[in-house]
Amino acid sequence: MDTAERLATLNRIRKFSRLMDTAFRIPGTGFRFGLDPIVGLIPGAGDVVSTAFSAYIIFLAARFGLPREVLTRMIFNIGLEAVVGSVPLVGDLFDAYYKSNIRNLALLEQHLQVVEPELKEVAPVSI
């Protein structure tokens, strides 16, 4: 991938991560949530669908040649959210607070700041 493609992929990861974890804000509070806990409310398929979106984000991130440790942490974040998220209601609340996609975006951006600092069109995400 050339620099333009890498930047486009990074921005796609940012958009998907924010859509899944921080797209909406509860008025009067600073609390943000995304589609992940909402989709998770659908019995049976909801958690599978949101885990598939998260896996797609990891697939895109892996194209940056991340070290095994970073990929392992990203997969752990998604796995934890998938396992706990499968518990009715409690899991959906966990999804709303844990925000695994934003955590994974932060891991990716931390790695890229070191190896490819030219890819910072948008400010890094903080948890």
pLDDT tens-digit map of 26-80:
999 999 999 999 998 888 788 899 999 999 999 999 999 999 999 999 999 999 9
State the chain's mean pLDDT as an integer.
90
Mean pLDDT for 8-16 is 95
Helix (H, G, I), strand (E, B) or coil at 119: helix
Instruction: Please indicate, yes or no, whether the overall pTM of this predicted structure exceeds 0.85.
Output: yes
Most confident of 2-6, 38-42, 58-62, 92-96: 58-62
* pLDDT confidence bin for 88, thresholds 50/70/90: confident
Domain boundaries, the chain: 3-24+50-119
Cβ 38 vs Cβ 115: under 8 Å: no
Is the per-residue pLDDT at 123 higher than 60?
no
Residue 25: DSSP 8-state? E
Helix (H, G, I), strand (E, B) or coil at 24: strand
